[in-house]
Amino acid sequence: MNLKKLSEILGLSQTTVSRALNGYPEVNEETRIRVQAAATKHGYRPNSRAKGLATGRSMVIGHVIPFSSQHEMVNPIFGDFVAGAARTYAQNNYDMMFTHAPDTSVEDSYRSLFNRGVVDGVVLQGPKVNEPRISALSQMGVPFIVHGRSTGADVPYDWIDVNNQRSFERATQFLIDLGHRRIALINGLEEMDFAQRRRNGYVSALKHSGIEIAPELLRSAEMTEIYGHQTACDMLDLGDPPTAILASSIISAVGVRRALENRGLKMGRDISVIAHDDELSYMRNGIDVPIFTATRSSVRHAGELAAEMLIGRINAPNDPPKTRLLEAELVVGSSTGPAPQRM
Amino acid sequence: MNLKKLSEILGLSQTTVSRALNGYPEVNEETRIRVQAAATKHGYRPNSRAKGLATGRSMVIGHVIPFSSQHEMVNPIFGDFVAGAARTYAQNNYDMMFTHAPDTSVEDSYRSLFNRGVVDGVVLQGPKVNEPRISALSQMGVPFIVHGRSTGADVPYDWIDVNNQRSFERATQFLIDLGHRRIALINGLEEMDFAQRRRNGYVSALKHSGIEIAPELLRSAEMTEIYGHQTACDMLDLGDPPTAILASSIISAVGVRRALENRGLKMGRDISVIAHDDELSYMRNGIDVPIFTATRSSVRHAGELAAEMLIGRINAPNDPPKTRLLEAELVVGSSTGPAPQRM
DNA sequence: CCGCAACTTGAAAGCGCTTTGAATGCTATG
DNA sequence: CATAGCATTCAAAGCGCTTTCAAGTTGCGG
């Protein structure tokens, strides 16, 4: 069933039928009702390719999920972020296109999606420091939004981010206030912008209290459970092990917990742990009482907001750049406590 | 840059340029080279909407991820499955469209994607028992593949699945062989087909050994960490607690482990745990030595295969249905051991 | 009754591509 | 030398929609 057939059935022109269905004012209300009835009756759905050709808009948003060529890691926050975004898209009649590309060719993926007219805009996730994709997209003239920010990107751009620096500064301060001095940071990949900011927050809090940075307590890698476990084991084996650990994700915090438990250490008593909690739906940080003391910020909500901002940008390409900085909550659970007294 | 401009630049007709670029034989080899050079030089990318309109194919595959309206849960395996599929799509020049719909309107989402000509085929994930979407898709004439199967679906269809029944039967038998009699099953949502099959495997192994089914040791819900934790706690509070637990996902197994450790129980000694391991990239079950004894089957690989099968179906709509049953490995870690002697 | 505005409707062009059917120039054949 | 056959190329139609421009109807004031 297409426009032509439908209009023949109705004895109307394609023009009128199209207008009736798209809510144009110049069509008689009676006709409109008749057309709509026929459309539903015959299950007519405008072909979106044809529509796109005619309007020059695809009503599709592109997401390119990079994976590091070595690890083939899928970012665990991806599912929830996308779920949030998808919700907004659905409300605005956008579809969502999705590509998975090795990080070496992400830029090409964007270019391809946009130049082929597949998408009207794209979401850039997981920006690195000096992210080259940002200026590339900017030059191409693709409407885009960055989930996160990129230190060193020299063009203005839309972004939505969590205040990573402040939240890790607060978390670190919280541990310092509890008497901790040996505080470890199990961070995400060094080149990621968020990891850098978190480290800055951590460093700044320590400095502020006159605590020296201990390089052996600073690690960064992809935030898997295994990594959390391994790193915690390594650090506990140090002559002067940490009394508190900051973990950049709840997933690696789970690994940390496993390491502690293997050694019979109790979280909150023997050692304190704070995790960053993206509120992943399958790994909630407790229901009533948080499992981990955590810096909390819903990545699903970020997805919703990112989608809104991007749609806004598509509709108003010349507006000045918009940015949005979300503050993470610091929620206190039972994984933190006063620093144990050294004998 | 479009075909028209490009052909003008080259002083050729659109026909020839199109043919040259698409590898048709009737074009002079010299011309072809000249055309290709110009195309790359000017960054020409055929508009895929126009191409789709002309060919009647969109070169897009649709995934509709349902979420239960109550929970808004994103299936944690989603990311890795999609990563696998995306890889295959990329190799075959397909793009991937993605919709997130409440489970009440998933069918409409498929219908919409297909009828609007957005996709050439779809992937159906998370089938329930008597999954109505299967016959719906079948009637609509959409090429599709099911990740999983649906007991009670009365039309033939393509599917790829893990032998859930056998793998849980083996896992249960493994525990029985270790002397366990009180074996719990912390399963996925009851209405999911995979959960039913896993239970069947579990029940069948128990029956085979003459062990009575204990309803208090059988639970099903969405496979979150919290759920694993809560259920394990409940079961440990029983007068006659289980000595072994089967968990339907590694995520809920992590919750189980947390419950055990809270109570000072040691996995493998005080209580045995077997998990199903989808090989999620951010939650690997150990590197050298498995953390959990597990039934293992890579969901990413399943995604790759599913995508291949679907593309095959699109290219040969009238072939007889194809199915593929993967066997899960049973890998032994340190989370299982002989049943502790009762005093 | 005429003219004009307000409503409605329609014909046709155009979005960028593929593909059919026809045309062109050349070489090989009888 | 006429013709068939081949290798190349092209003009134009068509995919299903939107949208411009034009036209037909009505109703109302003058």
Q: A118 vs B282: CB contact, 8 Å cut-off? A: no
Per-residue pLDDT of chain A (343 residues; tens, 9 = 90+): 899 999 999 999 999 999 999 999 989 999 999 999 999 999 999 999 999 999 999 999 999 887 766 667 788 898 899 999 999 999 999 999 998 877 778 888 899 999 999 999 999 999 999 999 999 999 999 999 999 999 999 899 999 999 999 999 999 999 999 999 999 999 999 999 999 999 999 999 999 999 999 999 999 999 999 999 999 999 999 999 999 999 999 999 999 999 999 999 999 999 999 999 999 999 999 988 899 999 999 999 999 999 999 999 999 999 999 999 999 999 999 999 999 986 5
Nucleotides of C under 7 A from a protein CB: 7-12, 14-21
Q: A96 vs B99: CB contact, 8 Å cut-off? A: yes
| A81 phi/psi in degrees, rounded to 5 | -60, -50
pLDDT digits (tens, 9 = 90+) for B287-341: 888 999 999 999 999 999 999 999 999 999 999 999 999 999 999 999 999 999 8
Q: A98 vs B98: CB contact, 8 Å cut-off? A: yes
Judge whether residue B199 has pLDDT over 60: yes
For chain B, the average pLDDT equals 94
Report CA(B39)–C1'(C25) in Å, whole number: 27
* pLDDT for residue B290: 95
Residue boundaries of the structural domains of chain B: 3-46, 60-163+299-326, 164-297
CB B161 within 8 A of CB B131: no
Strand A95-102 with B95-102, pairing: antiparallel
Q: B60-163+299-326: what fold?
A: Rossmann fold (3.40.50)
| Residue in B43, B251, B258 closest to A282 by CB | B251
A3 touches strand D (CB under 7 A): yes
CB contact A288 to B (< 8 Å): no
| B289 phi/psi in degrees, rounded to 5 | -100, 130
Superfamily of domain A164-298: Response regulator (3.40.50.2300)
CA distances from A230 to A142, A262, B9 (A): 41, 12, 60
**How far is A172 from A260, CA to CA, in rounded Å?**
20
H or E stretch including B247? strand B244-247
CB-side exposure of B122: number of CA atoms within 13 Å? 29
For chain A, the average pLDDT equals 94
**How far is A57 from A51, CA to CA, in rounded Å?**
8
pLDDT digits (tens, 9 = 90+) for A188-234: 999 999 999 999 999 999 999 999 999 999 999 999 999 999 999 99
**How far is A58 from B52, CA to CA, in rounded Å?**
12
**How far is A202 from A130, CA to CA, in rounded Å?**
21
CB B320 within 8 A of CB B102: no
Which residues are within 7 Å of strand C by their Cβ atom?
Answer: A 11-16, 19, 26-29, 31, 50, 53-54, 56; B 2-4, 14-15, 18-19, 21-22, 44-47, 50-51, 53-55
Matching CATH number, B164-297, of 3.40.50.2300, 3.40.1190.20, 1.10.1370.30, 3.90.550.10: 3.40.50.2300
User: Whose structure tokens read 């015959």?
Assistant: A42
For the CA atoms of A224, A230, A233, A239, the dihedral, rounded to the nearest 10 degrees, stands at -110
Q: Which two tokens stand for residue B340?
A: 């502790």
* pLDDT for residue B69: 65
| Arithmetic mean of pLDDT, B232-240 | 97
**How far is A186 from A184, CA to CA, in rounded Å?**
6
Report CA(A214)–C1'(D27) in Å, whole number: 88
* pLDDT for residue A69: 65
The answer to whether the A3-46 and A60-162+299-326 domains have the same CATH topology is no
| Residue in B73, B96, B280 closest to A97 by CB | B96
Nucleotides of D under 7 A from a protein CB: 7-12, 14-20
* pLDDT for residue A107: 84
Convert B75-140 into a string of H (helix), E (strand) and C (coil).
CCCHHHHHHHHHHHHHHCCCEEEEEEEECCCHHHHHHHHHHCCCCCEEEEECCECCCHHHHHHHHH
B88: nearest CA in chain A? Answer: A100
B14 touches strand D (CB under 7 A): yes
Matching CATH number, A60-162+299-326, of 3.40.50.2300, 3.40.50.720, 3.40.50.11540, 2.170.130.10: 3.40.50.2300
Based on its alpha-carbon atoms, the radius of gyration of chain B, rounded to whole angstroms, reads 25
Strand partners, B323: B159
Judge whether residue B342 has pLDDT over 90: no
CA distances from A254 to A243, A279, B253, B340 (A): 17, 14, 12, 27
The CATH class, in words, for A3-46 is mainly alpha
* pLDDT for residue A342: 65
Task: Give the number of residues written for chain A.
Answer: 343
